[in-house]
Amino acid sequence: MRIAIIGAGNMGGAIARALAKCDTLSDATIVCTAKTQATLDRLHSQQPRLHLTLDNREAATDADIVLLAVKPWLMREVVEQLRPALDLERQIIISVAAGISLDDLATMLGCEQATIFRLIPNTAIEVMSSMTFVCSRGATAEQQQTVMQIFNQTGCAMLVTEDKIEAGTALASCGIAFAMRYIRAAGEAGVELGFRAAEAHKIVEYTVKGAAELLLHTQSHPETEIDKVTTAGGITIRGLNELEHTGFTSAVIRGHKACIKR
């Protein structure tokens, strides 16, 4: 298999490094492009097995999958440049650009029959822990399975209808920033409580990781796990109630909803 990643910047580069670690892609050729040689040099130092070029057409020629990781406002220009090198009867086209629909991309490609996927990972794909949303247009069940198999190795991939992509972005892509903000705030609380900053951050990071792993392992509801640690008259319930008095749950819900364009 040959995979071309067009635009190996922050997200494209993270995807490339993740795919290079996938067991099922150990024999695949992964070709990445970037605007500058400096970006490619940095990518090579991070993951030497990647093939690198400044030429988008060269990368896309004969690829089985062409993943477009360019900025949304550059997509039309890049697609027009790539079009002569594409074989849309055979290739799978994947876009990670926010705000560009499957129909928009089909129009840019000038091919209603093209096999197109939209992919929304989050930055944790760097450490193979992404929550990735996938939707498709014109794809067979086998092609969907191929894409899902690849990206389930980089964390968890969820096949959704396109109308869920924006909500998924709010929950998982914007949401990872919300989780980081909680970690930062809790770390600051740890410093106020007497820990050194590095100690406080490590404590909070492992606590958040442990909470997520516990829920994934037990498949239980968060409140079930909360009930296990909130004893009558105890300190945990006092802390939880104080968070709620200051609007914690409401703030989280409102924050996620604010990420949806209206």
- Is the pLDDT at 262 greater than 70, yes or no? no
CATH class of 2-160: alpha beta
Each domain of the chain, given as residue ranges in start order, spans: 2-160, 168-258
CATH class of 168-258: mainly alpha
**Average pLDDT, integer, range 219-240:** 95
Tens digit of each residue's pLDDT (9 = 90 or more) over 192-203:
999 999 999 999
Tens digit of each residue's pLDDT (9 = 90 or more) over 20-57:
999 999 999 999 999 999 999 999 999 999 999 999 99
User: Using an 8 Å Cβ cutoff, are 78 and 6 in contact?
Assistant: yes
Say what percent of the chain tops pLDDT 70.
Answer: 100
**Average pLDDT, integer, range 206-235:** 96
- Give DSSP secondary structure letters for 153-205: TTEEEEE--GGGHHHHIIIIIIHHHHHHHHHHHHHHHHHHTT--HHHHHHHHH
Cα–Cα distance, 98 to 169 (Å, whole number): 9
Domains 2-160 and 168-258 share a fold: no
pTM of the predicted model, to two decimals?
A: 0.92
Which tokens in the block code for residue 39? 């970006």
- Is the pLDDT at 164 greater than 70, yes or no? yes
- Is the pLDDT at 247 greater than 80, yes or no? yes
